[in-house]
Chains A and B, each alone.
Chain A
Amino acid sequence: MTSESVELLASGPLFGLPLPTLWFGLVFALLGTFLFLDGFDFGAGAIFATLDDAGEREAVLSAIGPFWDGNEVWLVVFGGALFAAFPSVYAGLFSRHYLLMFGILGALILRGLAPEMYEQRHDARWQRWWGRSFVAGSVLAPFLLGVFAGNWLVGAPRSATPIGVLVGVDVTVLTVVSGAAFLQLKARDALPEWVTQIGVGAVVVYLLGVVATLGALAVRLPAGVDALLSAPVLAAVVGSVVLGAVYVVALRRRSDVVALAAAAGLTYALIAVVAVLMYPMIDPAAGVTVGDAIVSTLPLNLMSVGAALLLPLVATYFAVLYSAFSGPIAAEEAY
Chain B
Amino acid sequence: MIDPVLASRFQFALTTIVHIIFPVMSMGLAPFLIYFTWKDIRGGDPVYEQLRRFWTKIFAVSFVVGTVTGIVLEFEFGTNFAAFSTTAGELFGGPLAIEGMMAFMLEATFLGIFVFGRERVSDRLYMVSSLAVGVGTWLSAVWILIANSWMQMPRGYELVTENGQEVVRLVDPVAAYLTPRFGYMYVHMQNAAVESVALFMAGVSAYYVYRHHVWGYKTANIAFWQKTLKISLVALLITAPLQVLQGDLYARHVYETQPQKFAAMEAVWDTESYVPEYLFAIPTDLSQLTDPRAKELFGIGIPGGASWLASGGDATAEIRGLNTFETEAPPVAIVFWSFRAMVGMGFWFILLAFWGGYRWYTGELFKDGLLHKALMGSSLLGFVAVELGWVVTEVGRQPWVIQGVLKTSDGVSPGLTGNEALVTLVGFVGVYAAILTLYTYVVARILRGGPPDREALDAVDDRDAPTAGVPGDD
Contact = CB atoms under 8 A, between A and B. Distances in A.
Contacts, number: 247
Nearest to B414: A95
B463 A77 contact: no
Contacts of B173: 1, 6, 298-299, 302
8 contacts: A80-B96, A83-B96, A91-B83, A98-B420, A105-B72, A105-B75, A296-B169, A298-B173
B93 A80 contact: yes
Nearest to A119: B470
B78 A306 contact: no
A116 B435 CA distance: 12
Interface string A148-183: 000000000000000000000000000000000000
B77 interface: yes
B343 to A, nearest CB: 35
Give the interface centre of A70, A99, A112 by most chain B CB atoms within 10 Å. A70
Interface of A: 1, 6, 10, 65-67, 69-70, 72-73, 75-77, 79-81, 83-85, 87-88, 90-96, 98-99, 101-102, 104-106, 108-109, 112-113, 116-117, 119-123, 295-296, 298-299, 302-303, 306-307, 310-311, 314, 317-318, 320-321, 324-325, 332-335
B64 A80 contact: no
Given A102-B427, A120-B470, A69 B442 contact: no
B218 interface: no
B170 A91 contact: no
Given A84-B96, A95-B78, A95-B416, A307 B105 contact: no
A69 B116 contact: no
| A-B pairs, 3 with minimum CB distance | A87-B89, A94-B78, A80-B97
Given A94-B79, A296-B90, A317-B110, A69 B68 contact: no
A15 B436 CA distance: 50
A322 to B, nearest CB: 9
Contact of A90 (B85, B110, B473, B474): B85
A295 B105 contact: no
B74 interface: yes
A324 B424 contact: no
A117 B108 contact: no
Interface in B66-93: 67-72, 74-75, 77-83, 85-86, 88-93
A95 B71 contact: no
Contacts of B469: 65, 116, 119, 335
Given A69-B64, A105-B72, A332-B465, A91 B413 contact: yes
B174 A325 contact: no
B61 interface: yes
B100 A298 contact: no
Nearest to B143: A80
Given A92-B82, A116-B61, A303 B100 contact: no
B79 A98 contact: yes
Contact of A117 (B99, B174, B413, B442): B442
A10 B156 CA distance: 13
A90 B109 CA distance: 26
Contacts of B170: 296, 298-299, 302
B112 interface: yes
Contacts of B125: 320, 324
A77 B172 CA distance: 24
Dominant secondary structure of chain B at its interface with chain A: helix
A306 B69 CA distance: 26
A127 to B, nearest CB: 11
B279 interface: no
Nearest to A112: B68
Contact of A66 (B112, B416, B423, B435): B112
A323 to B, nearest CB: 9
A80 B416 contact: no
B112 A70 contact: yes
A74 to B, nearest CB: 8
Contact of B94 (A67, A119, A299): A299
A120 B442 contact: yes
Nearest to A101: B79
Interface string B426-439: 01000100010010
Nearest to A329: B116
A79 B75 contact: yes
Contacts of A117: 438, 442
Contacts of A113: 64-65, 68, 435, 438
B120 interface: yes
B170 to A, nearest CB: 5
Given A79-B71, A80-B74, A122-B474, 10 more contacts: A70-B112, A87-B85, A91-B81, A91-B413, A93-B78, A95-B415, A108-B71, A113-B65, A119-B470, A123-B474
A131 to B, nearest CB: 15
B120 A95 contact: no
Contacts of B117: 66, 324-325
A87 B105 contact: no
A66 B115 contact: yes
Interface in B404-430: 413-416, 420, 423-424, 427
B101 A307 contact: yes
A77 to B, nearest CB: 4
Interface in B372-416: 413-416
A65 B105 contact: no
Nearest to B116: A66
Contacts of A318: 109
B98 interface: yes
B3 interface: no
Contact of B97 (A10, A83, A296): A83
A73 B120 contact: no
Nearest to B121: A324
A310 B98 contact: yes
Given A77-B101, A91-B82, A298-B171, A321 B445 contact: no
A92 to B, nearest CB: 7
A69 B111 contact: yes
B281 interface: no
B89 A295 contact: yes
Contact of B113 (A75, A106, A119, A321): A321
Contacts of A73: 67, 100, 104-105, 108-109
